[in-house]
Chains A and B, each alone.
Chain A
Amino acid sequence: MSMKMKKVIALTLALCLMLAALAACGDGGKSDSGNVLKVATSPDFAPMAFVDTSKSGQDQYVGFDMMLAKYIAEEMGKELVIMPMSFEACTTAVSMGTVDMAISGFSWREDREEGFNLSDFYYPGDNESDQVVITLKENEGKFSSPEDFNGVKVGAQTGSLQESLCQEQLPDCELVTIGELGTGLLQLKNGDFEAMAVAKGQADVFMSNDPAVALSGFQFEVDEKYTANVVVMKKGADDLTQEVNGILKKAYDSNVYGDWYEEAKELAMSATANEVTYDDEGNAPAGDESSSQEEE
């Protein structure tokens, strides 16, 4: 009615227009949602899912899980769209229906089975089947039997497979829980604990980046149930689950998992450790500012 009202309405409309214009100049919403397979992943977990920073767009997501996602999308005849988000958000995205599935190194867990449709197992090489204990270089190979860990502080990620393995197989060790692997590695080097339980794949990446880290000599015995990962889908999406299971079986039968895993691991190590050489003390060829001759 009044001038003021009209102005407010005009301003609001202008704002809507601006937002619409912004939306248009963004990279445009995906319109053909019918033939797209949306997969949630948390790409901060080499060698399963990580980002090759030399590439851009959808190509930048690499790693074992991404190769699997590509394979599944190809078999389904759909275009793959990776939606990166934090690990916690992945499951939210599945239950909200924002994505069709989450592939992000999920291992089988009972509570997961209750809340979601889980696929059959897939096997990312030795990433899950080989669970090891790492330690500092000076303790390399010092621990070979479970008894060697008596009274020794061992770090493991909270709620992880490694944590339960420590509890089962190293009953007399002093378990220290850690939040995130990178932090755990710092704690290990800091002396908060002497050893740390991790998957072999992670251990390899750690060691290729950090010469101060070495294998302890002990390896867990791992139950079949824990050696594999699953694809997480929405509860009740039974047709999709069946289709995915069929594709996983085909991938398993054609023996591609091993190659994928090797390729992913190689990429993870080369992407991170390019052209860095270490001298035999394990020091990087630092310029003048380095100084690690303390402990002789």
Chain B
Amino acid sequence: MDLSLLGPNIIRLLRDYWQVFLLEGVVNTLKLTAIAVLFGVILGTLVAMAKMCRFKIVRFLIGVYIEVIRGTPILLQLYIFYFVLPQLLPFLALSPFMWVALALCINSSAYVSEVIRAGIQAVDKGQTEAARSLGLSGRQTMLRIVLPQAVRNILPALGNEFIMMLKETSLASTFFLGDLMTSYLLVGGATYLRFEALIIVGVIYLCLTFPLSKVVAAFERRMAHGTAD
């Protein structure tokens, strides 16, 4: 394979299209990721609470919600949110960007809720028993004893969810929503220098995820510091 033009072509694409990659691609990717994870965490907390509530029907329904969302491909969910829901809920009048962002939030919420639920349930039962026998109410036990310990399990996992979501936003390029993968499609489609565009986008994704995963790993170490076991 003749790679002699690869370098010059990449430089040329960067010179002519750097705004497309950096200003549009990176910004939109981060925007989608931030929206998805932020609302995913809020919604996921509610879902996790509902999953642990005492009504059996609620637990069952939430179980179905989580299984359906975690058991189907995210691309399929995007199609449903982009094509089907706007017709079922015409009064919402969301832009395509918002529909896709919403789909990512919902998707993220299912994963986050399991992270939170698992984090809470991983706290030893003896802690609750001890707290209750010392006279703390159920509420106090949750807020003061269980949650502080659960956070240690939850936060690093949330960091990983953020990295996962950052990569999954690339599926928004199915609808050309301006994320990094869309930049690849646009530049590659206009210049037919697809391989070169792909390399540029790949390097940018790595530049985004690598420092993030290092931060998460460092965080994980800190959190692990001071556990009983």
* Chain A contacts to B: CB under 8 angstroms: 8, 11-12, 15, 18-19, 22-23, 26-31, 43-46, 50-53, 83-86, 89, 92-93, 96-98, 180-183, 185-186, 189-191, 202, 205-206, 209-210, 212, 268, 271-272, 274, 276, 283-287, 289-292, 294
Given the complex of chains A and B, what is the CA–CA distance between A15 and B17 in angstroms?
38
Interface membership of chain B positions 139-177, coded 1 if the CB is closer than 8 angstroms to chain A and 0 otherwise: 000000000000000000000000000000000011110
Distance (whole angstroms) from the CB of B59 to the closest CB of chain A:
14
Chain B residues with Cβ below 8 Å from A97 are 87
> Interface range on chain B: under 10, 10 to 19, 20 to 34, or 35 or more?
35 or more
Chain A residues with Cβ below 8 Å from B79 are 89, 92
Known: A19-B39, A191-B1. A50 touches B189 (CB 8 A): yes
Chain A residues with Cβ below 8 Å from B17 are 53
Contact A26 B98 (CB under 8 A): yes
Distance (whole angstroms) from the CB of A2 to the closest CB of chain B:
11
Contact A96 B95 (CB under 8 A): no
Contact B192 A185 (CB under 8 A): yes
Given the complex of chains A and B, what is the CA–CA distance between A285 and B11 in angstroms?
11
Known: A26-B97, A92-B83. A50 touches B186 (CB 8 A): yes
Known: A8-B46, A93-B83. A43 touches B97 (CB 8 A): no
Contact A53 B186 (CB under 8 A): yes
Chain B residues with Cβ below 8 Å from A183 are 194-195
Contact B93 A29 (CB under 8 A): yes
Assess whether B5 is interfacial by the CB under 8 Å rule: yes
Contact A22 B98 (CB under 8 A): yes
Given the complex of chains A and B, what is the CA–CA distance between A197 and B193 in angstroms?
18
Contact B2 A189 (CB under 8 A): yes
Partner of B190 from A86, A186, A272 at Cβ < 8 Å: A272
Main secondary structure of the interface of B (DSSP, over half): helix
From 178 to 200 in chain B, residues with beta carbon under 8 angstroms from any chain A beta carbon are: 185-195
Assess whether B94 is interfacial by the CB under 8 Å rule: yes
Chain B residues with Cβ below 8 Å from A31 are 93
Chain B residues with Cβ below 8 Å from A30 are 93
Top 7 nearest A-B pairs by Cβ distance? A44-B189, A29-B93, A182-B194, A292-B4, A84-B176, A286-B8, A284-B8
Partner of A89 from B16, B175, B186, B195 at Cβ < 8 Å: B175
Distance (whole angstroms) from the CB of A280 to the closest CB of chain B:
15
Chain A residues with Cβ below 8 Å from B35 are 22
Chain A residues with Cβ below 8 Å from B93 are 23, 28-31
Contact B19 A53 (CB under 8 A): yes
What would 9 A/B residue contacts be, using CB atoms closer than 8 Å? A23-B98, A53-B19, A83-B96, A190-B2, A205-B192, A209-B192, A212-B2, A212-B5, A283-B8
Chain B residues with Cβ below 8 Å from A291 are 4
Contact B189 A45 (CB under 8 A): yes
Chain B residues with Cβ below 8 Å from A26 are 94-95, 97-98
- Nearest B residue to A282, CB-CB: B5
Chain B residues with Cβ below 8 Å from A50 are 186, 189-190
Beyond A84-B175, A86-B173, A294-B4, 19 additional pairs, beta carbon < 8 A: A8-B49, A11-B46, A22-B98, A23-B98, A29-B95, A43-B189, A44-B186, A50-B190, A51-B189, A53-B187, A85-B174, A85-B175, A96-B83, A96-B84, A98-B82, A209-B192, A283-B4, A284-B12, A285-B8
